[in-house]
Chains A and B, each alone.
Chain A
Amino acid sequence: MLEVNNLSTFYGNIQALWEVCLTVEEGEIVALIGANGAGKSTLLHTISGLIHPTSGSITFLGQRIDGLSSHTIVELGISHIPEGRRLFTDMSVRENMEMGAYPKRAWSQKDQTLEQIYQTFPILKERAGQLARTLSGGEQQMVAMGRGLMSRPKLCIIDEPSNGLAPRLVLEVFQIIESLREQGITIFLIEQNVRHTLEIADRAYVLENGRVTLDGTCKELLKSDHVRKAYLGL
């Protein structure tokens, strides 16, 4: 579904990604793990068109998407749920959700989509009229995820969804991600919470200093000494 091939990206004058290769197949949950500054966000920003790569290619459903602008990439069916939630804080929850359905194809069916998403996130229905900035951190993360689904994506890129959440909410976020897969949405998940991530994902890539240093099924990675030492603290 998504193929990243020999991707190199510069962030200013610094090379942030070195010939990164990875694939995400339809129906999978694929995780990307790595420390702060390893280049995870740069990779995501490159996939969703916020930054353009210097070399290499990104293919989505057989079509080259590197070099396209972010609004075009959304229309093709990739939704990027950004790190730090990035809500439109002065708009209501409902308006935030509507912004998620901005692509024309999604806009025409936004009311139905909204009803479906309210079933996954009942809290959003209760809070629909409130300004996004009046919500708690956990609720804001739900809005961010709900908003990301409003474009009816085929692939959902979720960047650090558990960041800054209480442990109980972290579990809820991971349960929701699993339920999205059941709804037929492919997930590319970026997380610092490696233990939970490797429990729900099928495969994972380890990114270190801008390079993919390790990849495999989560079972394999859980057995890897390097992963256990560096990411699980065992």
Chain B
Amino acid sequence: METVLDVVVAGLLLGGIFALISIGLSLQYGVARVLNVAHGEFIMIGAFVTWVLFEAGVNPLISLMIVGPGAFIIGFILYQAMFNYIRIKAPSLDAFEGNSILAAFGLLFVIQYIALIIWGSNIHGYTYLASPIHLGTVTVATNRLVTLGFTVVISVIFYIFLALTRLGKAIRAAAQDPATAGLMGVNIKRVLAICFGFGALMAGVAGVLLSMCYPINASMGLHYTIIAIVVVVLGGMGSIVGSFIGGFILGIVGSIVTYFDPGLSMVAYYLIFIILLLVRPKGIMGK
């Protein structure tokens, strides 16, 4: 019984990170229509910046406040400068999606190799808030709990932002029908860039949180990109709630499989992905 509880708690802790990175990818793919395969590279950069700053004496929670806005600005500019140009040049939305994946692949390699040149291929890490907390019979590291707290709070705040604010509604409208949103007065180019920026922000923040709990290396990104793609499909394309729930489902699955054999977690994710595509390709919350 205790083992089951341990595994579930570990799954929830992992699921929080999955949820956050998947909401980010969902914004970039579901709204801005860029299947950003370089998503994980933003996670990696977030993690490395936090590590470098930690070595220089900066508290990771302060890094969170630096990396988040920084990633947003970079994502926003990247969309305006690169993806928007591809969007305007593309004859159709399908062509844009194809071309933007290629561009994102380029981005993946550029970012990853720059990181490899700067930081090498070694594994790095630091210790922060590692003291154990006892929750009844379950013992978890403080940093994992902090991570879960941040992921849930950020997701909920973002959900409320989408539901209630003028810009949030514009984002949802643009996700459904960009041309009509434009007729309503929404500056589509700007809104899509903002979505891409938010996606980068969530990846960056996830990177900061990950670096507090796990060792990091320059080629860690793709692993998380794949997880995020699986979760986005699992949750339903473009559904923020779906990505949130899907993240936790995948986290718990990962935690259960890891309990038996850590090497098999990716196999389990792919298996879920394949079964999903066969049985319910539109995902949990998809229409």
Residues 164-223 of B at the A interface (beta carbon under 8 Å): 166, 169-170, 172-173, 176-177, 179-188
Known A50-B179, A99-B169, A102-B186; further 19 A-B contacts with Cβ < 8 A: A49-B182, A50-B183, A70-B182, A71-B182, A71-B184, A75-B185, A82-B183, A86-B177, A86-B179, A86-B180, A88-B173, A90-B176, A90-B287, A91-B176, A99-B170, A99-B181, A100-B184, A107-B166, A151-B185
Residues 59-85 of A at the B interface (beta carbon under 8 Å): 69-71, 74-75, 80, 82
Report the minimal beta-carbon distance from A8 to chain B, rounded to whole angstroms.
21
Residues 83-109 of A at the B interface (beta carbon under 8 Å): 86, 88-91, 95, 98-100, 102-103, 106-107
For B176, what are the chain A residues with a Cβ–Cβ distance below 8 Å?
Answer: 88-91
Per-residue interface assignment for chain A, residues 33 to 58, with 1 indicating a CB less than 8 Å from any chain B CB and 0 otherwise: 00000000000000011100000000
Give the A-B contact count at a CB cut-off of 8 A: 63
Q: Could you list 26 A-B pairs, sorted by A, with CB under 8 Å?
A: A48-B183, A49-B182, A50-B179, A69-B187, A70-B182, A70-B183, A71-B184, A71-B186, A71-B188, A75-B185, A80-B183, A82-B183, A86-B177, A86-B179, A88-B180, A89-B176, A90-B176, A91-B169, A91-B176, A95-B172, A99-B184, A99-B186, A100-B184, A102-B185, A103-B185, A151-B184
For A147, what are the chain B residues with a Cβ–Cβ distance below 8 Å?
Answer: 184
Residues 69-87 of B at the A interface (beta carbon under 8 Å): none
| CB <8 Å contact, A88 and B182 | no
Name the 5 nearest CB pairs between A and B, nearest first.
Answer: A74-B185, A102-B185, A103-B185, A70-B182, A86-B180
Residues 134-184 of A at the B interface (beta carbon under 8 Å): 147, 151
For B177, what are the chain A residues with a Cβ–Cβ distance below 8 Å?
Answer: 86, 88
Report the minimal beta-carbon distance from A103 to chain B, rounded to whole angstroms.
4
Q: Which residue of A lies closest to B174 (CB)?
A: A88
Q: Which residue of B lies closest to A95 (CB)?
A: B169
Report the minimal beta-carbon distance from B241 to chain A, rounded to whole angstroms.
12
For A50, what are the chain B residues with a Cβ–Cβ distance below 8 Å?
Answer: 179, 182-183
Alpha-carbon distance A90/B172, docked complex (angstroms): 9
Q: Which residue of B lies closest to A89 (CB)?
A: B176
| CB <8 Å contact, B185 and A71 | yes
For B181, what are the chain A residues with a Cβ–Cβ distance below 8 Å?
Answer: 88, 99
Alpha-carbon distance A82/B184, docked complex (angstroms): 11
Per-residue interface assignment for chain B, residues 93 to 133, with 1 indicating a CB less than 8 Å from any chain A CB and 0 otherwise: 00000000000000000000000000000000000000000
For A103, what are the chain B residues with a Cβ–Cβ distance below 8 Å?
Answer: 185
Q: Which residue of A lies closest to B190 (CB)?
A: A71
For B188, what are the chain A residues with a Cβ–Cβ distance below 8 Å?
Answer: 71
Alpha-carbon distance A71/B183, docked complex (angstroms): 6
A99-B181, A102-B166, A107-B166 known; A88-B172 Cβ under 8 A: yes
Q: Which residue of A lies closest to B182 (CB)?
A: A70
For B187, what are the chain A residues with a Cβ–Cβ distance below 8 Å?
Answer: 69, 71
Report the minimal beta-carbon distance from B156 to chain A, rounded to whole angstroms.
20
| CB <8 Å contact, B184 and A69 | no
| CB <8 Å contact, A99 and B182 | no
| CB <8 Å contact, A74 and B172 | no
Alpha-carbon distance A50/B188, docked complex (angstroms): 12
Partner of B170, one of A70, A102, A106: A102
Per-residue interface assignment for chain A, residues 103 to 134, with 1 indicating a CB less than 8 Å from any chain B CB and 0 otherwise: 10011000000000000000000000000000
| CB <8 Å contact, B173 and A91 | yes
| CB <8 Å contact, A74 and B179 | no
Alpha-carbon distance A222/B173, docked complex (angstroms): 41
Alpha-carbon distance A100/B172, docked complex (angstroms): 14
Report the minimal beta-carbon distance from B135 to chain A, rounded to whole angstroms.
38
Alpha-carbon distance A171/B182, docked complex (angstroms): 30
Per-residue interface assignment for chain B, residues 6 to 49, with 1 indicating a CB less than 8 Å from any chain A CB and 0 otherwise: 00000000000000000000000000000000000000000000
Report the minimal beta-carbon distance from B167 to chain A, rounded to whole angstroms.
10
Report the minimal beta-carbon distance from A158 to chain B, rounded to whole angstroms.
12
Alpha-carbon distance A69/B186, docked complex (angstroms): 10
For B184, what are the chain A residues with a Cβ–Cβ distance below 8 Å?
Answer: 71, 74, 99-100, 102, 147, 151
Interface centre among B176, B177, B182 (most CB of A within 10 A): B182
Partner of B183, one of A74, A90, A91, A98: A74
For B166, what are the chain A residues with a Cβ–Cβ distance below 8 Å?
Answer: 98, 102, 107
For B169, what are the chain A residues with a Cβ–Cβ distance below 8 Å?
Answer: 91, 95, 98-99
For B180, what are the chain A residues with a Cβ–Cβ distance below 8 Å?
Answer: 82, 86, 88
